[in-house]
Amino acid sequence: MYNELKTSNRILMGPGPSDAHPRVLKAMATPLIGHLDPEFVTIMDEVKMMVQQTFLTKNHLTFVVSAPGSAGMETCLVNLIEPGDEVIICINGVFGGRMVDIAERCGAIVHKIEKKWGAVVTTEDVKKALDHCPKPKMLALVHAETSTGALQPLEDISNMIHNAGGLFMVDAVTSYCGVPLKVDEWGIDAIYTGTQKCLSAPPGLSPVSFSDRAVKALENRKTKVQSWFLDLTLVKNYWGGAKRAYHHTAPVSSVFALRESLRIVLEEGLENRWKRHQDVHQVLKEKLENLGFTYLVDEQYRLPNLNSVFLPEENDEALIRNKLLKDYNIEVGGGLGAFAGKIWRIGIMGESCTLNHVNLLVSALEDIKEFKR
């Protein structure tokens, strides 16, 4: 016989998921109803409106993909790219590289802008790419690169790609509801995010939004979208319209949780939430630097809610990280790719973005005898 399910009560300060509000966990326990029940359709409409509000967009084609953020990435790419399309993709960490993989599977001709991990893409980088590819179908980049903690400026690049006649696609998985993100004002044509970072909902859903320009590109496709499940021409009729067409069985309990987490965001207010993440980051930064940590990313491009830091010399990062988890129930993330074994990724996202979380982490580090300052 299997034992009753039981997990440790972790303090989540890694790259995601973040701690969930008790109201969100309670919402998940709401009794199930059918995914085409009129009551659930009303809930879907409410979720769509709240996603529009938090994306700061009036895009009609805004909904939630029934899968995690990577499926949101794939939704944007497979719907907007056809075989032979030329696209520019910016790579300064793990997730830009993942975009390239998907785009190539769609048959795109990919022009890469490759930057050192921890750096950001500049307008000069984009200008050089446009010299080689003057009429791209799309430029895609990551707003907040989870593997490095770099925060990418967007507005100038958006203007450049639109002037070249292309679409502008953004990965906002780690920035959504944590730092300023203005879909309409910044001219973002396709955007996706996840629910488990600054939104502090359970992982497994991906809010997405498409501009009228992107919808026109979808309507003018000459070939079928290569994915049936992610085909917007099908799924959009499940999330909108007078008569809902069955597409798939939505994860009802996860949508309940998402609805509650969005309510919490709107109660706090987006600007207040952005300020909270910045304020708590400043306290964490000061305390970490006092312990001898140094940051990977230049301060002007530093993501406040995902802190990528080098430990003081002579520390075994895996040993200290495992001590935090085993002895203090605190989870922080290790490095990825070239930074595996070299950095920590400390998340202060959503419900994990409090001074209590900062003080718990710092006190634990001061208490671990193996930690060398």
pLDDT in tens, 219-259: 999 999 999 999 998 988 888 766 778 899 999 999 999 99
HSE-up (13 A, CA, CB side) for residue 285: 17
Task: Answer yes or no: is pLDDT of 88 > 90.
Answer: yes
Of 242, 266, 290, which one is at a domain's C-terminal end?
Answer: 266
- The reported pLDDT for the residue numbered 359 is 98
* Whether residue 351 sits in one domain with residue 249: no
Mean pLDDT, range 130-141, rounded to an integer: 97
- The answer to whether residue 3 sits within a structural domain is no
pLDDT in tens, 138-183: 999 999 999 999 999 999 999 999 999 999 999 999 999 999 999 9
Full 3-state SS string of the chain: CCCCCCCCCCEECCCCCCCCCHHHHHHHCCCCCCCCCHHHHHHHHHHHHHHHHHHCCCCCEEEEECCCHHHHHHHHHHHHCCCCCEEEEEECCHHHHHHHHHHHHCCCEEEEEECCCCCCCCHHHHHHHHHHCCCCCEEEEECEECCCCEECCCHHHHHHHHHCCCEEEEECCCCCCCCCCCCCCCCCCEEECCCCCCCCCCCCCEEEEECHHHHHHHHCCCCCCCCCCCCHHHHHHHHCCCCCCCCCCCCHHHHHHHHHHHHHHHHHCHHHHHHHHHHHHHHHHHHHHHCCCEECCCHHHECCCEEEEECCCCCCHHHHHHHHHHHHCEECEECCHHHCCCEEEEECCHHHCCHHHHHHHHHHHHHCCCCCC
* Whether residue 360 sits in one domain with residue 258: no
Mean pLDDT, range 125-144, rounded to an integer: 98
- The answer to whether residue 5 sits within a structural domain is no
- The reported pLDDT for the residue numbered 205 is 98
* Whether residue 311 sits in one domain with residue 220: no
- The answer to whether residue 361 sits within a structural domain is yes
* Whether residue 348 sits in one domain with residue 261: no
- The reported pLDDT for the residue numbered 96 is 96
- The answer to whether residue 4 sits within a structural domain is no
Q: Which residue has the tokens 């950001």?
A: 120
Of 237, 266, 295, which one is at a domain's C-terminal end?
Answer: 266
Q: Tell which wins on pLDDT, 243 or 281.
A: 281
- The answer to whether residue 326 sits within a structural domain is yes
- The reported pLDDT for the residue numbered 114 is 98
* Whether residue 217 sits in one domain with residue 203: yes
Q: What is the CATH number of the domain that holds 336?
A: 3.90.1150.10
* Whether residue 285 sits in one domain with residue 261: no
- The answer to whether residue 373 sits within a structural domain is no
Of 266, 282, 299, which one is at a domain's C-terminal end?
Answer: 266
* Whether residue 224 sits in one domain with residue 256: yes
Mean pLDDT, range 266-287, rounded to an integer: 98
How many angstroms separate the Cα of 221 from the Cα of each of 92, 217, 234, 244?
30, 6, 14, 24
Mean pLDDT, range 126-142, rounded to an integer: 98
* Whether residue 189 sits in one domain with residue 53: yes
> Which residues in 92-130 are b (16+ Cβ under 10 Å) and which e?
bbbbbbbbbebbeebebebbebebebbbbbeeebbeebb
Structurally, the chain folds into a number of domains equal to: 2
How many angstroms separate the Cα of 174 from the Cα of each of 50, 147, 220, 267?
18, 10, 31, 20
Structural domain boundaries enclosing 261: 22-266
Contacts of 135 (CB under 8 A, 6+ apart): 86, 164, 165, 166
- Contact call for residues 210 and 78 (beta carbons, < 8 A): no
- The answer to whether residue 135 sits within a structural domain is yes
Report the amino acid identity of residue 142: V
- The answer to whether residue 357 sits within a structural domain is yes
- The reported pLDDT for the residue numbered 236 is 84
Task: Answer yes or no: is pLDDT of 37 > 80.
Answer: yes
| pLDDT, mean over the chain | 96
* Whether residue 220 sits in one domain with residue 151: yes
* Whether residue 326 sits in one domain with residue 207: no
Residue 338 binned pLDDT confidence (cut-offs 50, 70, 90) = confident
Whole-prediction pTM: 0.96
* Whether residue 166 sits in one domain with residue 33: yes
* Whether residue 179 sits in one domain with residue 281: no
Mean pLDDT, range 338-364, rounded to an integer: 97
How many angstroms separate the Cα of 255 from the Cα of each of 25, 27, 65, 231?
12, 9, 10, 20
Q: What is the CATH number of the domain that holds 184?
A: 3.40.640.10
Task: Answer yes or no: is pLDDT of 327 > 90.
Answer: yes
Mean pLDDT, range 131-141, rounded to an integer: 97
